[in-house]
Chains A and B, each alone.
Chain A
Amino acid sequence: MFKILRKRELAPDIYLFEVEAPRVAKTANPGQFVIVRAYDKGERIPLTIADYDKRTGSVTIVIQALGASTRVICSFEEGDSFVDFAGPLGQPSDFIHFDPDKINGKRFLFVAGGVGAAPIYPQLKYLKERGAVLDVIIGARSKELLILLDEIREKVDNLYVATNDGSFGYKGFVTCVLEELISKGNQYDQVIAIGPMVMMKSVAESTKKYSIPTIVSLNTLMIDGTGMCGACRVTVNGKIRFTCVDGPEFNAHEVDFDEAMLRLNMYRSEEQKRLVDIERKHHKCKIGRTM
């Protein structure tokens, strides 16, 4: 069992959980993820690691209540436990293999959409400590859905915020800000985009025009997360790759996003049905929390 040490509401329906998982914390690196199963009849859900503390043995994840399972998870409180918390999974971000002098003074631009602002945090921390120059664009539908702004501002050189409805920062998509920064003459050695698939796709299209190396962290469907089923397979540079073992980070300009977005919808109707079921039950009892 993996105890929830701290729970914090970041935005409506978006929660941060700090979880006691010493083995995961000890070997975690930026870019990796965990698979969480909250309760006995629950499903296995992949979540990117949003922070980790090797000293205290805790790992932070951020969850948005979107579907049936995430809704139940978000009702968990401090002191409750997840039945399973497996990781760290996937390949760490490429830059952890770089020489320190290859990071020092290099300019990175992070583009984060929605809860994608959480997984960029350990990456920013890592790069900041090694002297990188960091620009970040964070986007959300509206002001109240922006998360972790203060934490991120502390780690970066320039922070740009965009909301679709204009309730905070630029009005529009993160890609508009990205295009503007580039057209103003900002030079970047590396762009890293994390967020909804459609957002990562349009970031990839923008940066391809300017030939800026770009990495995306794919959020495909997953079950085991260890390479044994291929539910998370994507086409990268014409080859079948498994996101859970070969990724989750890939060269954005090589990913077949249209296929990946289609595959993400494979269980859309089952998910909708489940959500209705669980909402009906959820009002009466805390479903699934029979341990």
Chain B
Amino acid sequence: MGTLKSRVAIAEQSPKERRSNFNEVCLGYNIDEARLEATRCLECKKPKCVEACPVSINIPLFIKHIKSGDIAEAAKVIDLDSSLPAVCGRVCPQEIQCEGSCVMGKKGEPVSIGKLERFVADWTIKNHLELTTKSSKRNSRVAVIGSGPAGLSCASDLAKMGYEVTVFEALHMPGGVLVYGIPEFRLPKSIVEEQINQLKRIGVRFELDVIVGKTITVDSLMEEEGYGAVFISTGAGLPRFMGIPGENLNGVVSANEFLTRINLMKAYQGDYDTPVYIGKNVVVVGGGNVAMDAARSAIRLGSNVKIVYRRSEKELPARAEEVHHAIEEGVEFCFLTNPVEILSDEKGWVNELRCVKMRLGEPDSNGRRVPEPIPNSAFSISCDMVIMALGTSPNPLIINTTKGLKSERWGGIHVVNEFGKTTRPGVFAGGDAVTGAATVILAMQAGRKAAAAIDEFLRERDSKHFNFSSAN
């Protein structure tokens, strides 16, 4: 049997249909399609895809199980390294990770590793497969602060090691960016809920509505509540604004606000109380995944949407698949364009975005060409809503309220090694809180590494205790 050069096509909602709903765009493989796609894997001896996966899933092995139709076995292989496969299969930028390194990609298309991972994870959920059994109980409590991807993966690994884990979350739902940021049409919330339920079944406790730094502190967790170690994974959730005139006008919102109203508060569904303002002509400023999510959400609520980005198409930081989907759905792009002022009508509502044309100048120290304004190129876009998707930075709350924690000048938590060790003994940190806004899978990787380091820290502490007491 020859190997298929091209991927097995995957079913998607048509652009016309999906423009008016929030249902998932990509419908996923069925078992026959998954098994056929799996036959494209060459089962390399030295698999490059595993090297390129931040959590090193044994990709050829789980794909081999798909080939033979043993999906439960495939699920067990993935579970050894990843606690959120249904999420990662959907939102990882596979083109620069596993799939980007697949040898099949050299002559044709790489194996659809992400879609296969997703297939296995969805199958696991549908068939109520119980994956993990806990190892022997360890008598130490660990607090995980923040329930985004980093926190969930750390909590998962620690629970599997037998620790008593409590996750503290400020919002009323766990999941971090998975529930308030990434829209339903890319990541159904029922999937996130299922993944979190799996964690609950292996003993992870969740305490919601707890804002660490306000409701409790890291110090009180360690000194009063008996937590032996703490993992800080509070993300980078503070939105940036441009600082241009008119930014506080009505109709100007951060992408975080717009997406939180839609995803977390379900403002687009009639029976939920939270309102969301929807413009007829919406401009989204920015070029990352968050900008795409905001633009595509606005399209679904009936807006005409333009994305304004100061560099060119080539530099867009968003995933290629999402840009492609956005274009299919009718989002218009204005490249090399930068806003300078927002104007309003007499009632204080935005009605015009003043922009200038940009060109790419000399490369900066990172080799990226710096955009610079073209003189006398000002023009206006008429609009009734502006969504700012300019990136986010870490919340200073925990750093400001925790003894002995050092921060970076830009606001991230300072870690002394790749395992997330901070300057305070017993306190570890990872994910966007340390790196600034990055990806789901990198946050998960940080969570896993910290879990290993926390285990080592607690074992060492316990053995010292033991030596001390036996010496007496």
Interface size class of chain A, counting residues whose CB lies under 8 Å from the partner chain: 35 or more
Interface residue from A84, A227, A231 paired with B172 (Cβ < 8 Å) = A84
Q: Which of B256-283 contact A (CB under 8 A)?
A: 256-257, 260-261, 265-266, 271-275, 277
Partner-contacting stretch, out of B128-136, B235-243, B370-378: B235-243
B211 with A87: CB separation less than 8 A: yes
- The answer to whether A23 has its CB under 8 Å from any CB of chain B is yes
Chain B residues lying within 8 Å of A228, measured Cβ to Cβ, are 180, 237-239, 256, 260, 392, 395
A231 with B348: CB separation less than 8 A: no
Known: A262-B250, A267-B275. A85 touches B209 (CB 8 A): yes
Known: A83-B172, A228-B395, A270-B275. A240 touches B257 (CB 8 A): no
Chain B residues lying within 8 Å of A265, measured Cβ to Cβ, are 250
B256 with A89: CB separation less than 8 A: no
Specify which of A83, A224, A245 lies most central, judged by the most chain B CB atoms within 10 Å of its CB.
A224
Interface residue from B209, B248, B256, B273 paired with A259 (Cβ < 8 Å) = B248
Known: A228-B239, A259-B248. A88 touches B215 (CB 8 A): yes
- The answer to whether A43 has its CB under 8 Å from any CB of chain B is yes
Chain A residues lying within 8 Å of B216, measured Cβ to Cβ, are 23, 27
Minimum CB–CB distance for A268 against chain B, Å: 10
Which residue of chain B has its CB nearest to the CB of A265? B250
Chain A residues lying within 8 Å of B250, measured Cβ to Cβ, are 262-263, 265-266
Interface size class of chain B, counting residues whose CB lies under 8 Å from the partner chain: 35 or more
Q: Interface readout for A12-49 with B: 1 if CB under 8 Å, 0 if not?
A: 00000000000110010000000001000111100000
Minimum CB–CB distance for A65 against chain B, Å: 14
Interface residue from A44, A226, A230, A263 paired with B395 (Cβ < 8 Å) = A226
Q: Which of B219-252 contact A (CB under 8 A)?
A: 237-239, 241, 243, 247-248, 250-251
A86 with B209: CB separation less than 8 A: yes
Which residue of chain B has its CB nearest to the CB of A262? B348
Minimum CB–CB distance for B333 against chain A, Å: 25
- The answer to whether B4 has its CB under 8 Å from any CB of chain A is no
Minimum CB–CB distance for A38 against chain B, Å: 9
B265 with A44: CB separation less than 8 A: yes
Interface residue from A43, A230, A262 paired with B274 (Cβ < 8 Å) = A43
A274 with B275: CB separation less than 8 A: yes
Work out how many contacts link A and B, with CB atoms closer than 8 A: 110
- The answer to whether B208 has its CB under 8 Å from any CB of chain A is yes
Q: Interface readout for A246-289 with B: 1 if CB under 8 Å, 0 if not?
A: 00000000000001001101110011001000000000000010
- The answer to whether A202 has its CB under 8 Å from any CB of chain B is no
- The answer to whether B351 has its CB under 8 Å from any CB of chain A is no
Which residue of chain A has its CB nearest to the CB of B207? A23
Known: A24-B215, A228-B395, A240-B247. A69 touches B273 (CB 8 A): yes
- The answer to whether B170 has its CB under 8 Å from any CB of chain A is yes
Inter-chain CA distance A87–B171, complex, in Å, is 11
Which residue of chain B has its CB nearest to the CB of A240? B241
- The answer to whether B83 has its CB under 8 Å from any CB of chain A is no
Inter-chain CA distance A265–B349, complex, in Å, is 11
A44 with B257: CB separation less than 8 A: no
B273 with A42: CB separation less than 8 A: yes
Chain B residues lying within 8 Å of A229, measured Cβ to Cβ, are 239, 254, 256-257, 260
- The answer to whether A223 has its CB under 8 Å from any CB of chain B is yes
B208 with A267: CB separation less than 8 A: no
Which residue of chain B has its CB nearest to the CB of A82? B209
Inter-chain CA distance A181–B172, complex, in Å, is 46
B214 with A27: CB separation less than 8 A: yes
Chain A residues lying within 8 Å of B180, measured Cβ to Cβ, are 228
Inter-chain CA distance A71–B260, complex, in Å, is 24
Chain B residues lying within 8 Å of A85, measured Cβ to Cβ, are 209
B257 with A23: CB separation less than 8 A: no
Minimum CB–CB distance for B143 against chain A, Å: 14
A41 with B266: CB separation less than 8 A: yes
Known: A23-B210, A83-B172, A84-B208. A230 touches B348 (CB 8 A): no
Chain A residues lying within 8 Å of B241, measured Cβ to Cβ, are 230, 233, 240
Inter-chain CA distance A37–B170, complex, in Å, is 13
- The answer to whether B253 has its CB under 8 Å from any CB of chain A is yes
| Sample of 13 more A-B contacts, CB < 8 Å, known A43-B275, A44-B274, A228-B239 | A23-B216, A27-B214, A41-B273, A43-B265, A84-B209, A88-B215, A227-B395, A228-B260, A229-B257, A233-B248, A235-B248, A240-B243, A265-B250
A contacts, CB < 8 Å to B: 23-24, 27, 37, 41-44, 68-69, 83-89, 223-224, 226-231, 233-235, 240, 245, 259, 262-263, 265-267, 270-271, 274, 288
